[in-house]
Amino acid sequence: MEMFKLIPACKDYLWGGNRLATEYGIKYDGDILAEAWLLSCHKDGCSVIEGGEYNGKTLPELIELIGSDFLGANCKGLQDFPILIKFIDAKKPLSIQVHPDDEYALEHENQLGKTEMWYVLDAKEGAFLYQGFSHEIGREEFKERIEDNTLEEVLNKVYVKKGDVLFIPPRTLHAIGEGILIAEIQQNSNVTYRIYDYGRVGADGKPRQLHIKESLDVTELTRPEAFSSGAEHLVSCNFFDVDHVDVSDGNTYESVADERSFVSIIAIEGNSVITCRGKSIELKKGESLFVPAASGDFEISGNAQFLITRIPDKIK
């Protein structure tokens, strides 16, 4: 099975900038490019195959055409494609929000909840995000602070820099702050409950919808547990395993796409060549490559950095 370079789905949310186009080479005609969905089978925006026999097909169309075996044994029995990987350019702060867990999301939204991780690609000096609460509060205080616009006073503020890694379990209140560029690896879900949105209005001139009842239902009202990431192996959870790889100074990275899982390779810096089964594909900053399960050994050479994601054995 050949490797597939992917064209991302693009989103022009009002808080976005244009760095994904100007610095990461993602092709987009609009003025705002808030998100690029680099690996996606979600109905709200699918990745598209670039080049080769299946040029122009979406990733779901490819799965339909050639079958799901190339996703790997760890994806057997799953109703949906397991993950979504995106770049996020927060020129302005995102809404304060929360994602439900699977149980709540399946009951109320007919799709999965969202566990996610963030890798900070870049951050301006003094940039911060919110992750949970500075201390445990009660449901009534949570509700009152939403109503009187004092919620930010009790949130856990986290200052970030390039290379930082955060893990965001479902039910964790969070918000990406201004001036942060992030790579996000998440469950394949687009369920977001907005709690507070700074009074902003959408393209229709009306305030963007808030989801207060749902947020009260699902938000964990505590300070999140501390998370520690390794320098190379960043995150392991039930839904994804993520590594950071740095190839430079004549070094190469050698690994394998075995029968258990496909491999997603996202270039976050530099230029490289990925070789598998005698075929080579050039990959530069901002590009995404899908290596099917059971493709065997592959090698990365060049001068670049990557996020490499697999589906773990323990996926539910």
pLDDT tens for 51-67 read 999 999 999 999 999 99
For 71-109, b where at least 16 C-beta lie within 10 A, e where not — what string?
bbebbeeeeebbbbbbbbbbbbbbbbbbbbbbebbeeee
Q: How much is the pLDDT for 316?
A: 54
Q: Which residues are catalytic?
A: 194
Angstrom CA distances, 137 to 39, 151, 155, 227, stand at 37, 11, 10, 21
Q: How much is the pLDDT for 206?
A: 85
Q: What is the dihedral of CA 84, 90, 93, 98, to 10 degrees?
A: 10
The vertex-42 CA angle with 40 and 44, nearest 5°, equals 115
Q: How much is the pLDDT for 94?
A: 96
d(CA 273, CA 298) in angstroms, rounded, equals 10
Q: How much is the pLDDT for 159?
A: 97
Written as one letter, the residue type at 101 is D
Residues of the chain short of pLDDT 50, as ranges, are none
Terminal-residue alpha carbon distance, the chain: 26
Per the document, the length of the chain is: 316
Instruction: Kindly give, in sequence order, each residue whose CB lies less than 8 Å from that of residue 240, ignoring residues fewer than 6 positions away.
Output: 82, 83, 117, 185, 309, 310, 311, 312
Q: How much is the pLDDT for 79?
A: 84
Looking from the CA of 242 toward its CB, the CA atoms found within 13 Å total 27
Phi, psi for residue 103 in degrees, rounded to 5: -60, -50
Longest alpha-carbon distance in the chain: 62
Both structure tokens of 264: 């997603």
Q: How much is the pLDDT for 42?
A: 95
